[in-house]
Amino acid sequence: MLIFFAILSFVSTFLGGLTGLRYKDKLHIILGFTAGVLLAVVAFDIFPEIIELVGLLQINPIGPMIALVLGFLVFHISEKMLLIHHAQEDEYGEHKHPSVGVASALALAGHSFLDGVGIGLGFQVSSAIGVLVAIAVISHDFADGLNTVTLALVHKNSTKKAISLLILDALAPVLGVISTRFFSLPDNLLVIYLGFFAGFLLYIGASEILPEAHSKHSSVGTILMTILGIVSIFFVSQVI
């Protein structure tokens, strides 16, 4: 099952990049839905699992909450330092150099690798957690592929190089999933991981994907798609 989700993450990332080459102005609906999926996975699956593990292991809940804040801040700070957030690229017109696009795309590939690690560790907690984390990651990988291509092209890289970077980004979560076959975490560290990963998903959903969905095409339709994403994961989480 892990390999199946790894392949889906590759496909999602690659399709996101290809779509970014052709239909960037029509992606707000998909991004709105994706943001809802990410937020719902945190609210309806990861948080309840953290609460259950805290009670079962009888550990201080402040630990996973600190990890959540760190997860949010680590990705926020790294993104701002590496210019990943492309929603404000117009402000940096005079700084469009190919090396910046490559560096940003490589940073995205690094965080895609962590996405794959997240899927693998999710399955170490339970199959249900693994499936829902995989759904969240695969949904967000579409936006990752889009971002990789956009960042490469906006900094004057060739289409050929953009596609090469896209392939690297698409392979990264697969390698992340495979890496978790060689190590496992004890329960007390898994709950810390869940907190950290929740912070990461909250940041990606609320601070990156959702604002991007509304940056050019804010509409009732986009809002409704976000709500649909939330409702969909709520029902999935009740079934799994």
Give tens-digit pLDDT for 88-126.
Answer: 444 444 445 566 567 667 767 877 898 899 899 889 888
The answer on pLDDT for 85 being more than 60 is no
> Could you tell me which residue, 155 or 102, shows the higher pLDDT?
102
Q: What is the mean pLDDT of the chain?
A: 80
Output the six-digit token pair for 7: 């392949």
Confidence of residue 22 (pLDDT cuts 50, 70, 90): confident
| Dist. CA 78–CA 51, nearest whole Å | 29
Q: What is the mean pLDDT of residues 152-180?
A: 85
pLDDT value for 84? 47
pLDDT value for 240? 62
pLDDT value for 237? 77
Predicted TM-score (pTM) of the model is 0.69
Confidence of residue 140 (pLDDT cuts 50, 70, 90): confident
pLDDT value for 102? 72
pLDDT value for 93? 47
Tokens 């890496």 belong to 179
Is-contact 19 216, C-beta < 8 A? no
| Dist. CA 5–CA 1, nearest whole Å | 6
pLDDT value for 97? 55
Nearest Cα neighbor of 139 from 177, 173, 168 is 173
| Dist. CA 214–CA 238, nearest whole Å | 29
Is-contact 33 225, C-beta < 8 A? yes
Q: What is the dihedral of CA 162, 146, 109, 179, to 10 degrees?
A: -120
Q: What is the mean pLDDT of residues 138-163?
A: 76
* Neighbouring C-beta atoms of residue 3, cutoff 10 Å: 11
The answer on pLDDT for 8 being more than 80 is yes
Confidence of residue 65 (pLDDT cuts 50, 70, 90): very high
Q: What is the mean pLDDT of residues 58-77?
A: 90
> Could you tell me which residue, 7 or 149, shows the higher pLDDT?
7
Is-contact 84 104, C-beta < 8 A? yes
